[in-house]
């Protein structure tokens, strides 16, 4: 609030307190005005007493922060503040009256004056709020606390749209204590957030610096409070001066990874893809479609989107009209070869796969056919038609696999490693937040239906990455690939699925167990309690890119997989689920037990 506005409010309160004194005296003397003036409002001492009481009351209002609040948004908290201020200001004057034995002012008059002052000063504030509603001007302005007295916080406080009331900042840095930015004071530290929300009727908390650790802490602090959490937009918007309340986004589950997100420098990838023909399999899926969007921004000569599901392919085609849509199952080798022969792609990103662990446990033949033989068909077409770079999208479930899906992806990794073609590589993902069929969309749907949110085991943990991070890893790996390596993103610490459920429920504005129950269902077929990023016979070494490591793995000998691969194909075509599972296990045991350690070293 501006200084002139505070002065005006103080003057109004001074007049209201004087009016309260007169009314209290009137009640005391039955409104005998002649007697009141003659006995109590004539001498200089009595007049000084009255003016001093009014001035002290206004000063106490100021000390209690009543002039930092907007009257037309006043509520019970403002009324409590008026009561406290009156008590502190009237007590010393009451002691003076008692010591003077009521000569300067009636002893019971101050008690009446205090009651009248509370009713008038508090009542006027509440009446202003009510009058605003009666006049058809409902209180829609948002009362906001900004976490972080930094550049982004300054931009929010500077926002001239004023569709919100900035109550203040909270910041843990000592040098921020007591400062004011655009008239908005730093009200305290992060730990003061709950009390500030209550005392100022805050409806939104804006994180001006959404560091993962702070996001988690803020969520814990506001747990149980009816407030929305919002965060600043992207850094480029901050630089462009676009940080306004109507541009802020809701807090998302991606903000809770408890680590800084990994970003790619577009200039590292642009020279590789600009003017090239790029083919993406599984282009209608969550990851494939995002790869398509990113690749399209680098100006390829031709963008070829291959997918089996025509509906999802059609949707990404509407978004990217410059792309060529090709409906094709990657297991159809002849059709796939015709596509490669006609379009001659330079780059191939292979995202097509079956990824649902429990479903693939029940259908191993389908998992093997798509994930193993589909990958082999794409690899063969790439080699035959001179594709420069190939990237396989793998998963952390391929590490020491105990399920069919993980085993098929491990087989696909081995096929890439064995081919050892220059420019070909694989990347391992953790669980991708928001991808189709993943845990987060499932939980969100359960929350929207009122619960329960199902968690398989309280101890289950997973590595998580965002869709943009997954695409970052793919694009970076395409530039690092030398010949069959596996690349891995630093995904921080694994996250407990139970913690994820709690955080997601809170993000949706509910309290876990209180509003939305959580049900423990037990592990599903093929699920592990914990995932690993690197296998027992593997190691990692750093690359020239921060947060990206290369996995040193065993390369199968040239005799692998041999005739057993064709035998596996026949079992898949015949739908022999048991034999598919057994032969897949045997082939993997041979691949892991035979071969030589990859000694490829990365070019500096």
Residue 392 parent element (H or E): strand 389-395
User: CA-to-CA distance for 439 and 454, rounded, in angstroms?
Assistant: 10
Cβ partners under 8 Å of residue 149, min gap 6: 169, 171, 173, 176, 179, 181, 186, 208
The three-class DSSP label of residue 69 is: coil
Q: Which residues pair with 433 in a beta bridge?
A: 466
Q: Is 163 among the residues known to form the active site?
A: no
Q: Tell the residue number behind the tokens 């009595």, with chain if given.
A: 46
Per the DSSP assignment, residues forming a β-bridge with 464 are 431
Distance spanning both ends of the chain, measured CA to CA:
58
Tokens of 234: 């992207």
Residues 6 or more apart from 366 whose CB is under 8 A from it?
354, 360, 572
Strands 495-496 and 461-462: antiparallel
Catalytic residue among 397, 409, 414, 547: 397
With a CB cutoff of 8 Å and minimum separation 6, the contacts of 111 are: 94
Q: Which residue in the block uniquely carries the two structure tokens 């970052």?
A: 472
Q: How many CB atoms lie within 10 A of CB 560?
A: 18
State the Cα–Cα distance between residues 302 and 274, nearest whole angstrom.
Answer: 10
Kindly list the distances between the CA atom of residue 238 and the CA atoms of 103, 172, 209, 506, in Å, as whole numbers in the listed order.
Answer: 65, 22, 11, 27
Look at residues 160, 159, 263, 240 and name the one whose alpha carbon lies nearest to residue 206. Answer: 159
> Taking a C-beta distance cutoff of 8 angstroms, is the pair 503, 443 a contact?
no
Report the DSSP beta bridge partners of residue 551. Answer: 486, 540
Cβ neighbors of 43 (< 8 A, separation 6 or more) are none
Q: Which among 142, 173, 169 is positioned nearest to 157, based on CA atoms? A: 169
| Nearest in space to 144 (alpha carbons), one of 126, 171, 176, 169 | 169
Please give the angle made by the CA atoms of 457, 458 and 459, to the nearest 5 degrees: 90
**How would you class 495 by CB atoms within 10 Å of its CB: exposed for 0-12, middle for 13-18, buried for 19 or more?**
buried
Q: How many residues does the chain have?
A: 604
Query: How far is it, in rounded angstroms, from Cα 78 to Cα 68?
Result: 11
Query: Alpha-carbon distance 580 to 368, whole Å?
Result: 8
User: Do the Cβ atoms of 362 and 576 come closer than 8 Å?
Assistant: no
Helix (H) or strand (E) holding 486: strand 485-489
The Cα 279–Cα 494 span in angstroms is: 33
What residues are labeled active site? 397
């Amino acid at each position: 609030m501006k200084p002139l506005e505070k002065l005006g409010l103080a003057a109004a309160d001074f007049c209201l307190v004087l009016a309260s004194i007169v009314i209290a005296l009137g009640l005391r003397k039955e409104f005998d005005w002649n007697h009141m003036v003659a006995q109590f409002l004539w001498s200089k001492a009595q007049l000084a007493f009255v003016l001093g009481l009014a001035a002290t009351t206004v000063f106490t209002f100021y000390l209690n922060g009543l002039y930092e609040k907007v009257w037309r948004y006043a509520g019970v908290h403002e009324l409590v503040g008026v009561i406290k201020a009156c008590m502190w200001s009237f007590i010393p004057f009451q002691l003076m009256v008692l010591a003077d034995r009521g000569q300067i002012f009636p002893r019971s008059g101050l008690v009446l004056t205090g009651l009248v002052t509370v009713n008038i000063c508090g009542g006027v504030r509440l009446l202003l709020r009510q009058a605003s509603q009666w006049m058809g001007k409902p209180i829609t302005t948002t009362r906001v606390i900004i976490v972080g007295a930094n550049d982004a916080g300054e931009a929010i406080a500077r926002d001239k749209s004023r569709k919100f009331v900035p109550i203040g900042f909270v910041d843990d840095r000592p040098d921020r204590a007591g400062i004011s930015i655009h008239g908005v004071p730093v009200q305290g530290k992060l730990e003061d957030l709950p009390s500030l929300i209550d005392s100022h009727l805050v409806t939104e908390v804006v994180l001006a610096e959404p560091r993962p650790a702070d996001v988690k802490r803020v969520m814990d602090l506001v747990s149980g409070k009816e407030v929305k959490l919002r965060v600043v937009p992207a850094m480029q918007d901050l630089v462009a001066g676009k940080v306004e309340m109507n541009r802020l986004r809701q807090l998302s589950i991606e903000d809770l990874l408890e680590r800084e997100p990994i970003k790619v420098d577009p200039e590292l990838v642009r020279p590789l893809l600009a003017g090239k023909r790029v083919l993406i399999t599984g282009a209608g899926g969550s990851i494939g479609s995002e790869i398509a969007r990113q690749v399209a921004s680098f100006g390829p000569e031709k963008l070829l989107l291959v997918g089996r599901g025509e509906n999802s392919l059609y949707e990404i085609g509407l978004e990217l009209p410059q792309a060529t849509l090709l409906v094709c199952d990657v297991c159809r080798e002849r059709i796939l070869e015709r596509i490669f022969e006609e379009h001659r792609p330079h780059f191939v990103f292979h995202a097509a796969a079956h990824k649902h662990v429990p479903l693939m446990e029940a259908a191993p033949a389908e998992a093997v056919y798509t994930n193993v033989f589909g990958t082999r068909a794409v690899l063969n077409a790439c080699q035959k038609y001179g594709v420069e770079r190939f990237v396989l999208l793998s998963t952390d479930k391929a590490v020491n696999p105990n399920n069919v899906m993980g085993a098929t992806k491990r087989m696909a990794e081995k096929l890439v490693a064995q081919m050892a073609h220059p420019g070909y590589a694989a990347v391992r993902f953790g669980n991708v937040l928001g991808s189709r069929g993943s845990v987060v969309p499932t939980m969100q749907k359960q929350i929207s239906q009122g619960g329960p949110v199902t968690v398989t085991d309280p101890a289950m943990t997973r590595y998580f990455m965002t869709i943009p991070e997954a695409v970052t890893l793919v694009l970076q790996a395409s530039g690092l690939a030398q010949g069959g390596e596996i690349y891995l993103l630093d995904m921080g610490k694994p996250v407990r699925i139970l913690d994820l459920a709690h955080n997601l429920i809170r993000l949706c504005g509910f309290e876990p167990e209180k509003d939305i129950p959580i049900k423990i269902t037990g592990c599903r077929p093929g699920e592990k309690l914990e995932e690993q990023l690197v296998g027992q016979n593997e190691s990692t070494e750093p690359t020239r890119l921060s947060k990206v490591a290369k996995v040193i793995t065993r390369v199968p000998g040239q005799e692998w997989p041999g005739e057993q691969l064709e035998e596996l194909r026949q079992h898949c075509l015949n739908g022999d689920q048991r034999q598919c599972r057994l032969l897949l296990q045997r082939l993997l045991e041979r691949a892991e037990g035979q071969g030589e350690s990859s000694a490829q070293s990365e070019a500096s």
